[in-house]
Amino acid sequence: MKTALQRIYLALIAIFLYAPIGVLMVLSFNESKSRNHWAGFTTKWYVSLFENKQIMEALYTTLILAFVSAAIAMVLGTAAAIAMEAMGKKLRTYTMGVTNIPMLNADIVTGISMMLLFIALGMRLSFGSVLIAHITFNIPYVILSVLPRLRNLNPSVYEAARDLGASPLQAFGKVILPDLAPGILSGFLLAFTMSLDDFVITHFTKGPGLDTLSTKIYTEVKKGIKPEMYALSTIMFVSVFVLLMLFNGISSRKSAGRAAGKAARSKKADRSETDR
């Protein structure tokens, strides 16, 4: 009885979170351009999407922006996280405080503050300004993904590598980096997604002539959204869903196999494995 209630509750929340996504998917197959009535099933929007130059351009801008900003944030953020592990308590608290600013600050304030800076510097509001803004709000996500990994690192492994003759760089590349990789990767994924979904900060830091999917949709709201947008979103959502399912399936099978093997060998828990 109790578990049945719990299941129902979980299902209701899942419906709440995914109902709008379902609506958009249905609309992408709607014959009519209107959002409000169903005129029959069609896949024509999935064809005309690829002929729509404006949407394709916005998609290209969005993906490049997300990739480049996440990649740069990944490098800066990982370096910062490693440095933070080495910091004393006080310096570390200050750095954490700075890291929290873009996360806790309102998007609208972040957006206008950067817009004011770019204009004060005489910079043209274009791809460059949006890229800087995205890197800025992406770095904290990388730092917060890498820090827990660093904390669970076994320091003796690095020292052992050094004892065995590895240079600091070799020891880092061959011992530390592989251990941090899952954290760095999930930081990158999170940053990429945040950049992709951002509207507010892009809205303030972009100039005329540059559009991401978000800003394009925003200008279309009043005129009516082109059904091609629903089709594009459905494609993106479904492909990421499939990718994540595959990725999750592989990694959970792997870790299940590893766990079984380990249990057979010894019952001692490995400190670095139990965390994730």
Rounded to the nearest whole angstrom, what is the least distance from the CB of residue 130 to another protein in the complex? 12
Among 56, 68, 71, 112, binds another protein (CB under 8 A): 112
Judged by CB under 8 A, the chain residues 254 through 273 that form the site for another protein are none
3-state helix, strand, coil in the chain (%, to 5): 80, 0, 20
Q: Pick the closer one to another protein by CB: 16 or 41.
A: 16
- Nearest CB to another protein, comparing residues 120 and 266: 120
The reply to whether 59 sits near another protein by the rule CB under 8 A is no
Q: Candidates 43-51, 76-84, 259-267: pick the segment binding another protein (CB under 8 A).
A: 76-84
**Of the candidates 59, 65, 147, 201, which one interacts with another protein according to CB under 8 A?**
147
Q: Are 224 and 35 in contact (CB under 8 A)?
A: yes
Q: Minimal CA–CA distance to 201: which of 100, 112, 102?
A: 112
**Given 27, 55, 191, 210, the residue binding another protein (CB under 8 A):** 27
State the sign of the Cα–Cα–Cα–Cα dihedral 93, 99, 103, 108: positive
Q: Are 132 and 114 in contact (CB under 8 A)?
A: yes
Rounded to whole angstroms, the Cα distance separating 274 from 265 reads 16
> Dihedrals φ, ψ of 150, to 5°?
-60, -40
Binding test (CB under 8 A) with another protein, winner from 144, 184, 210, 231: 144
The gap between the terminal CA atoms of the chain, to the nearest Å, is: 31
Q: Is 170 in the site for another protein (CB under 8 A)?
A: no
67 binds another protein (CB under 8 A): no
Q: Is 18 in the site for another protein (CB under 8 A)?
A: yes
**Rounded to the nearest whole angstrom, what is the least distance from the CB of residue 133 to another protein in the complex?**
8
Q: Which is nearer to another protein, 91 or 266 (CB)?
A: 91
The answer to the question of residue 38 lying near another protein (CB under 8 A) is no
Is residue 71 a contact residue for another protein (CB under 8 A)? no
Which DSSP category does 173 fall into? Answer: I
What is residue 207's three-state secondary structure? coil
* Dihedral over alpha carbons 172, 178, 183, 189 (to 10 degrees): 110
CB-based contact 138:70 (threshold 8 Å): yes
Counting contacts by CB under 8 A, is residue 207 touching another protein? Answer: no
